[in-house]
Structure 1
Amino acid sequence: MYLKRIEIQGFKSFANKIVFDFHNGITGIVGPNGSGKSNVSDAVRWVLGEQSAKQLRGGNMQDVIFAGTELRKPLGFAYVAITLDNSDHKLDIDFEEVTVSRRLFRSGESEYMINGSACRLKDISELFFDTGIGKDGYSIIGQGQVDKILNGKPEERRELFDEAAGITKFKRRKGLALKKLESERESLVRVNDILTELEKQVGPLERQAKVAKEFLALREELKTFDVNSYIMEYDSITQNLNEYKKREKLLSDDLNDAKASLERSKQDYENITADLKKIDEELDELRNTRSATSITLQEITSHIEILKEQINSENRNNENLASRGENIDSDIEKKQKELDKLEEEKNSLQRLLNEAHEKENSVFEELENIDKNINELTKRLEDLKNASEEFNSKNADLRAKKERYKGILEQVRLRKSQMTQRLLESKTGQNTLEIKIEEEDKNLSEINASIDTVNAAKKELENKNEAIHTEITRFAKVASDLQIKYQRESARLTSMKNIAERYEGYGNSIKKIMETRDRIGGIHGVVADIIKASQKYEIAIETALGGRIQNIVTDSENTAKILIDYIKKNKYGRATFLPLSSVRNSTFSNKEFLKEKGVIGIASELVEFDSAYVNLVGSLLGKIVVIDNIDNAIAFEKKFRYEYRVVTLDGESLSPGGSISGGAFKGAGNLLGRKREIDELEAEITELLKNYTEANDKVEALKAERNSINAKLEENRVQNQELIIEKNNIAHRRNSLIEKLDELKASSISVQTDFENIDNELTEIENETKRLDNTLLNVGEDFGKVGKDIESIEKEIQSHRSKRETVVERLNSSKLEYANISQRLEFSDENVNRTKADMDALIAEKSGLKGKAEDIIRNITEKNQRIEEEQRAREELAQKIEELKKKEEELSEIKETKNKSQNKIFENRDIYSDRVSLLDRDIYRLRGQIEKSEERISERTNYMWNEYELTYNSSLELKTDTGMSLNDIRAKIQELRSKIKALGNVNVNAISDYNEVSGRYELMKKQHSDILEAEETLIKIIEELDIAMKKQFAEKFEEIAKEFDEVFKELFGGGSGKLVLEEQDDMLEAGIAIISQPPGKKLQNMMQLSGGEKALTAIALLFAIQNLKPSPFALLDEIEAALDDSNVDRFAKYLHKLTDHTQFIVITHRRGTMVSSDRLYGITMQEKGVSTLVSVNLIENELDN
């Protein structure tokens, strides 16, 4: 079997799907730091079931999903699959090739698969048991696993050795067996509790069942007499009822006739009322019409007057229009004269504007000639200035060059001075270094002495730590025993509470009612919940209560009625209720009997209860005497002629009349004792928890002390390490000082040579400076000549500019004059236009006056015509008003006649109404008698149905001929009810409850035996597993230790490596120490080795395990990182040796390992945050070259 393929997509930095194909031999995975190559190791660990995000270098499991980059969005899932060749069927699965995959979605959903079929993580773990493959096996080894081997505690290395020894599967089986054993023991506690409770219930239920049977026999006899009584009474009442109904029929007929006459009179009355209403409506309509016509007449008269006034107004407007026409003609004449004057002024301004324009053009031409001369002179000036700047630049360059040479000269002189100083300092430094070397030699001696002191302190701390470890083990065992007992008692308490909450031992109806307690208010609980007795009086009080202990206490009779309907509707059985609103306290008036021998007290005074239940407890226990034993009880009853009901502490009961009940029954405490037992258990559990906490605190205190010592040991280790580091630092500083001294001596010789060359360099620089001074003198003469030419041209330009300013002033004056005349002309033009517009408006107004005059004449004519039309309408309305008055008088006469008829009908209606009332009263009285008879029948019928679920017809079938009168039957019924009442509260469900409980008791006894048998079997299995594991581990550990020593010698080139099993009672829990002795060194533990030695020791152990129990493949993640090059070569060489039986995938950055690989995969991060894959096949002859 070997690993064929790894597929990764969306896991950490592998955004795209990548596939690794593997073959036998060594495959290397390489890449720069941060490229994601270690994510391959994490991916394999993850697909094999790793559940710790921390082990995968993340904060939570969603961190393994590709989180996105600046260029890529986050992915929604991570997927990894590994495929193994199973052609040799080492895996217990019927496939030649096995693919295990895991997928995680960002929502948190996860799935595992084997060959595409969904499975559990457990299935994957069991598939790879004892193969070395797994998240905790030795097939995947990274820096974390190496550190765990190197720096972990001895007991933390167990997992690796258990896997190598092949006992992991056994340990898992043992763990499962221990869990099952614990479960069986918890079940045993629960079954014991249930058996105890059932034993308490069997006896009382048997007694209650006997009473219930007697009750059912009496009740059946009562039913027979109830049926006969019901039939006889029903027949008698029915006969009377028929007579009542016949009489009711006759009276009802008379009533109907009277009501019909009443209705006819009412109808006549309503008809006349309707006619009167119609007449009133017509009168109202006539009056409204006449009123509206009068108003209209007034409006027409008013409108005629308004029209006449409007005609007068129109005549006045016409006169005003004629006057306005004359004024408009005068205004037009004035405007024409004003327009002529404005036209003449406009023409004069136009001539002045033309003259100003010609003057402006002449001055502008003169200005252009001056500007042309200035431009020509300016161009010549710029050319001369450019030449001047060139001379100036050349001069500046020469001066700058001179300054550079001057600076170089200063630098050379400074270097000469510095070299002189360096020669002096070098001599001084050599002397100082020699003194420091002597001081470091002294420090080296002191640090060696300090290291010896620290090692002595370490030995003392280790001895103290061992003593504390012994104490921790002792107190931990005490805490463990207390914890086991606490868990056992807690389970028992939970069981008892469950029994109490489920009301085990109560009738079915009681259980069903208590389930509704939260839905139906007013339920206080059963009697057993309300009364509390000390253990001494429990049996006596429960005997005194008898079946009443299961009675349900309610706040009122109404609540009891609701609950009875509820159990009756659902057919849950029967129950007895004690409403607090109706129960009455009962007690002895004379208590002299309390002084009698053996009398303990009255039962109601020997129990505890809430003050709200005083009447209830008094009614139940107020007249029951408690006496210590049966002998004293019998003597007491004889003395008082069996007047009292007595109970004894052992549960005997003596009733008035002389009957005695008693005998042996198990668990007499029964229902009443449950609360006490629960309280006692809670107190015991509290004490256990307190003792456990104290023991645990002691363990924690010892652990804290051990941690303190470990911290001191760590401080000691750090101090020792710091001293060693300081020692190395001192040696390093000493060597560094020696190297510096040698460097100073060599430097002095070099400085002396440079000093001799500086003088020649100084002479050359001074000669070059003199040549630069001559060149500067010649350039200065040329620069002076150009300057004079520039000065002459600038004066000529200034003269032209003065002349230009004078011309510009003249030009501005001309422009100002032109603008002024132009503005006046524009204003004159506006005046001409405005005057023309005014004339046009006057002419238009004159034309409009004519049209308005014509409109006024037309309006006057129309209004005169409307006045004539409205005068005719006014005459017609006056005539209509007279007609309406006449019709109104006719209707008033008809209304008077109708009113008289209505009064006559009203008198007849009162007579009929009195007759109806009289008949209604007689019928009401008769119906009352009918209703009472029907209620009595209904009451008796309901009683028969509620009590026996019988109707009249079904009762007829059960009727018997008793030969007794109805009164005799009633007397017999009363006698039977008295006998039933004498039985007290009866639990009719006791018969079925007794059968159920006794059957369940037998079932629990069988289950108890089965659990004990299963417990014994499991203990035997665990013992056999321990023996097998110890034997196999001992054999394999010895082989691993021997192989480790051989591999150690081969990798180190000598020395020895040992594995030591720590002393402990249980070999399977003992820690494993690794002792290493590299060649030429003393035997020492792992912490005293160098980093490379530690890593090589761990690798030797892993290779030893691979030799003895090779895993099909091994993935090594940079485990050789701490090795030097020579040890890397040894590592690679041995790795090749192991490839005969194991396939290796090595994540590395060491060249020696890469060269030894048969094939390389390169991991790169060409895109930031995204890992990609590169594959290279290595050919052996290429490696040789």
Structure 2
Amino acid sequence: MFLKSLTLKGFKSFADTTVMELEPGVTVVVGPNGSGKSNVVDAIAWVLGAQAPSSVRSQKMDDVIFAGTSKRPALGRAEVMLTIDNSAGLLPIEFTEVTVSRVLFRSGESEYAINGVECRLLDVQELLSDAGVGRQQHVIVSQGQIDAVLNARPEDRRGIIEEAAGVLKHRKRKEKAERRLEGTEANLMRAQDLLREVRRNLRPLERQAESARRHGALIGEMRSLQMFLAGRELQSFQARLTNLANDKLAGEEAERGLRAKLSSLDTAVMAAEAQLSARGDSGVNDELVRIEQLRGRARGLVAVLVERRRSVERDRGQLMDSGVIATLEADAANLRSDLAKVAEQIAAVKAVSASGTTDQGSTLEEAQVASQKVAELSARVRGLNEDIDRLRNIVATDARNETELAQRLVDADAARVAAESAVDSAMSLFSTAQSDASTSASRAESLQLTLDANGTSAAALRDIEGTLGALSGMIDIDSERRVAVQVALGDALSAVVAQNVDAARRALQELRQTGAVGAVLALNAITTVPSTPLINNGTSLRSHVRAKPGAHETQVNRLLDVLLSRVVFVQSWADAVEAALAHPEAVVITGDGDRFASSGMRVGTSNVTASALEEAHRRAERAKEALGRAESDLATARTRMAQARDTHATALTLLERHRSTATETNARLSFAYDSLRSVQAELQGLLSVLRNDLEVKSAGLQERRQFLQSRLGDVEARLNADVEARNAAAERRNKIEVGLNALVRLSALVEKHSATLDARQAELQEIRRRQSDEVRAISQRLDEARKDRTSNEQLLEERRERNRRVEVEEAEVRMRLEATIEALRRDHSVEPQAAIDTPQPELPEGTTPIARVRELERELRLMGPINPLALEEFDELQKRHTFLEEQLEDVKNTRRELIKVIKQVDMEIQSTFASAFADVRDNFEKLFSMLFPGGHGKLLLTSPDDLLNTGIEVEAKPSGKNVKKLSLLSGGERSLTALAFLFAVFRSRPSPFYVMDEVEAALDDVNLHRFLSLIHEFRQEAQLLIVSHQKRTMEAGDCLLGVTMQPGGSSRIIVERAAAAAS
């Protein structure tokens, strides 16, 4: 095993990553002053776990990080990696190469690693301890350590041998066992005290427990009866709720049926009304009126045709005479008049055809009737459009309301979920508060028991003559220094104060006889008061404690002077440590209750004090308050959850009702659309008929105008052609014949049309009769539907009222059920099902459960006050008694085992140290004789009979000198003597490597020669790494490592083998 390589990065002067390859044999590190040679030794010591900054020549540990130069900034971390060749398997790890690394950051964080795996410093030390490299690092001899070996105390020299011999691990085992033994001793005393106290309290509690057991039996029987009665009541409530729920479901189903029936009745009513409206607007009456008008016109036309025929016949019978011209002129005037009238009628017909409405002329009565019908239908269209717009608005409003209700439902559901979450959180807080309250109460009870146990000695000695009571009851302490004074006085607070030494002896005798544990203080036993040590920043606690007024006030104050004479109070923990180290005779107390003295140091106050009990009671009170708040928060959360659930149910009901209303509104809107389409179709049909009639009338008038124009032309021609009068008269006679024939045909056509109108009139009258019958039937159905609707509305309202009554009754029953359940949980801490499942307890014959409950209540009143915790306390105390006896036996066995282990470890330490010391002593004598020919050196034990603690003295007598003190030797002799001691240790318990830093600096040539001969002997046994300025030492090395300082302020390594140097 040997050091294979050393890697430095940011360590001291090695700013750059520097790798040093090391080999077995002697390696000499050389270089000018200030180049960083010794930093190599510091790096090895640091990576192996050096903790003191002085061990690496620093003021504080972060000084090892490269601090920077004028040309190079400082670094933030230092890292060193040491690789060890473990091919021989000397280290207890399954690797042939082991790399130990250490990193330090400027923030103070430090990391260790073995082969890249992060570990603890302890892991590194345990890994290397079997190789002889311990915490004191005796294998690394740094500058100044030579004189330190000679000037060290004998015990420190022993530590070097123990480390080399591997005794330190036994020391650790012993220290651990002693700490455990010390804790075991304290536990033993504690267990004995508690056992005595438990035995003293066990008998009275047994009597109280018997009464409590009887009381508990009565309470249990009454509780069973109450649970049985509550279970019967719960079953009654649940059955009633089930019936009410069924009634509610049936009522809701009936209400839905009535609503559906109302909806169908509304639809039937609206359909009947629509049918009535359609029958009223069928147009049969209008058509009858129009036919009657057409028949009247036909009769008038027949009369005109008869009169014209007579006139034509008269004209045919006449001959052309002298008055023919006058006749023709009269005919022309008549024809012009008829032509003007026909023109007016044509204009009126065109106007009617264009606008659809007119009231001009007696020949347009049909147009007027049609126009009125069109107006009525248009009014109905407008009304239906208004109804549709109104229903659309209702539908839009319903949609918005439905959206709003849906949002309310979502919000209500979110509120319900949040309320349930709040209940869960409140339950968690409630459980936590219950746990805290229980823990605080247990802590206060434990402290009370401990303080009671501490006060047992005072109670046991109260009747002894000459005792005054416990010191704690005879003094007053300022509140701001209470903790410090309690720590300073310690066990003296619970000690019994005696008037004199004789009374103290009697008190001690009583404690011995009764087996009690306690302390006794005698007044006036000490006549002198030691002076208080003078410590910087320290004050006396004496002014903060005083005796209570009374007969013994002066003596108690004197006792306090004695007890607190060596006690000094400081505020800072660090100041307390320094003061305790500087003044071993003082007892230093801090404000936090830390205690520092030569007998030992303790951080923190004792847990078993009156102030701790007060604090425990305060915590218990705060825990109770927190529990109360948690109960209140839980009740509030449950109330909010119930409200959120009610809101959610209400929103859901409203949404369902609104959707039902929206369905009815949509049905009405659909019916309105159907009615509108029907009226629009009827209006279009009427307008089409009206246009056709107007077109026919217009065509007839056009023909008549043409006829009149033709006749007018004829008459005018006759007037203008007197010469041809006869011929014209003959022609006129012919035309008259033709007109007469036309009149005959027209009369026949009019008569035929009149017959058609009569038939149509009879047909329409039959249709009107049938429609009247249908209207009467529809009206009858409409009346019946309205009556049914009114009846169903009344039934619906009655059903709603019954449903509301059921809901109210259900709420009342549910409230009573919840109250019963809450009472069960509050009074009996059980769930409802447990009460329902509770069977009826056995009762005396002729006794009812309610009567038995009253009888039990009377018996409980007669028993009087009972300690409700007596039974539990007795069982607990009995268990505690058994437990303490078992624990006491376990502690005794543990104590015996620890003592046995300590003895075995002591024997191992003595054996190992004795063997190692004998080897070192022999090797020291040989090496001293070699380094000082003719001289004599010895190692002596300061206490040969105490091999566990003895120190080692070094006796050196160079040749020709009769001196025994090392201080009388020269510097070189002292260095050689120290080297002889170290190398004797190295040879007795070899280590795989040794590191020395300028250990030969004080040697002259002769002594240097002797040192190099010693190096030559050891070069085959171990790897040597030597930092030196001596040329002869460099020549003795197998490898030279040159360290130089670069211009940038960073060290650099130059490697040169011995063979290359020689060449």
Query: TM-score under structure 1 normalisation?
Result: 0.41
Relative to its length, the structure with more helix (as a share) is: 1
